[in-house]
A and B are shown apart, each in its own frame.
Chain A
Amino acid sequence: MASLRVIRPGMLTTVQDLGRWGHQESGVPVAGPMDWYSHRRANRLAGNPDSAAALEVTLLGPELESDSDIVCAVAGAEFVLTVGGAAVEADRAFVAPAGVRVRFGARRAGTRATLAVRGGFDVPQTLGSRATSLVSRMGPFGGRALAAGDVLPIGQPVQAAGRPAGRAMKLPAGGARLRVLLGPHDAMFTPGAVATLLSSRFTVTPQSNRMGYRLEGPPLRHMGPADILSDATPVGSLQVPASGQPILLMADRQTTGGYPKIATVISADLPLAGQLAPGDWIQFTACTRALAIVALAEQESVLSGDHR
């Protein structure tokens, strides 16, 4: 079986698939990619099903080497990518010959890239998924980020898995506007808090990771107590503890939480959110359920290449 060895792991490189769904009632985080659009696109470029396990690379990318000739593709954040020192063209599959190093160099835009390898990474599944949950230490390699020396087995290519891979996502430059649906707990906040949320700039602080982004901005005030009896915490929800500083819950969030959620980022804007880094700004704008679905359907057609 072909395998890929980690020479240098980069800042935070994890194995992800589309997430560990179906076990949140047992407290199991979904995890999965921060930018699921680029995860699926990298897999399509590599000739894999969308759900294949791939690597999520963060800010400083890894250096890798395979023991066989492999077909790779990278989507998401733009890095200077070389194979054996020669630059690789972005946005298309490339061959990494056996024993030749694939290296992520300088980063030009975005925060997270997905590296897919044809056949996907055939690491063991936990509860039906190969996603790494750093918070619950679940998934391949004991649920940790990759380290130098780790060896990732590569699976057999799936015949005719290839679906067209459409346009690359537009990457944020210093910040992003994210559309939200208010709620589910917006009624627990002062009317001024909702207005503040929708009219202010928030900054992603260094206390941000795959679980969530701690944001800094004008405080969002609760009308009464700042806690609720724990309930589910969907990806993209903005939970607000007593400090009034919101936390944008991301891929590796815990399954339940005890803070009210003032608003929730729409599904179509989550990949963009996943490309933000500490220091970036966020502006939230209100959206409707109907427009959120239109935006998601449109994104789906862009990914499938049938949208101009």
Chain B
Amino acid sequence: MTDLRIVPAGDAALLVELPPGIDPATNARVVALGRAVRDQCGDTVRDVVVGYCSVTVYFDPLQMDAAWLESEMRTLAEELPDSSVTGGRLIDVPVCYGADCGPDLADVAAFARGSEDEVIALHSGATYRVYLIGFVPGLPYMASVDPRLALPRRTTPRTLVPAGSVAVAAGQTTIYPSDTPGGWHLIGRTRVKPYDPSREEPFLFKPGDRVRFHPIDRSEFEQAG
């Protein structure tokens, strides 16, 4: 990886960047690099955070020499096997689109110059990649959404988005894991929980996973609850 940029993010973290872009191959490389550094360094790293095209490694600067870690990251990056872009798990997400489940579906349809059904077909017709998890615990940033649905964020964010809302903005899609403020366009609801503290693995999504949405009707949605 000659296109690797490694810079300090303060004295207790290193930021490893690849050329910017929402690109599956780039993200696959940072996911693999994040995994490699976890495997290699174990408990001497405090945390590893994958971004779209970056991985940040947190460490205790009194326990680990940043220059050593930097060279270790370069070595790991060199040795990284060609990672598969489609290697992640495939997760199916049933969605009740529109009406009070997706109050912004009409806005998205207007942007797309199509019908609500066309928006549903476009949104549920693609397989998305989970690029990173952020904003609130468990929230997956997924892309790429069909350009016809790629409207910008709402000018005024909602103060409360209900948990389970499926939303789109800026070419990305997500599922809100908890009731939270949010500026994306709400097109549906799901019973799938990105974060469930009572589950053995509380977090459903990991960077590199693939996600497909499929439409269900209101009664199926009610029954699933």
Contacts and interface: CB of A to CB of B under 8 A. Distances in A.
**Bind each other:** yes
Interface of A: 21-30, 126-127, 135-138, 181, 183-184, 228-232, 234-237, 254-256, 261, 264-267, 289, 292-293, 296-297, 300
B197 A237 contact: no
A159 to B, nearest CB: 25
B202 A234 contact: no
Contact of A184 (B7, B133, B138, B139): B7
A184 B9 contact: yes
Interface of B: 7-13, 15, 17, 20-22, 34, 46-54, 56, 58, 61-62, 66, 132-139, 141, 178, 195, 197, 202-203, 206-207
B192 to A, nearest CB: 16
Contacts, number: 133
A261 B133 contact: no
B11 A261 contact: no
Given A230-B134, A234-B56, A264 B10 contact: yes
A234 B46 contact: no
Contacts of A29: 137
Contacts of B206: 25-26
A289 B11 contact: yes
Nearest to B20: A229
A177 to B, nearest CB: 17
Given A136-B136, A229-B21, 5 more contacts: A23-B137, A25-B47, A25-B48, A256-B132, A265-B10
Given A26-B138, A256-B134, A231 B10 contact: no
Contact of B11 (A231, A255, A256, A266): A266
B137 A256 contact: no
A126 B134 CA distance: 18
Nearest to B21: A229
Contacts of B138: 26-27
A27 B134 contact: yes
A17 to B, nearest CB: 14
Given A232-B54, A234-B56, A261 B134 contact: no
Nearest to A257: B134
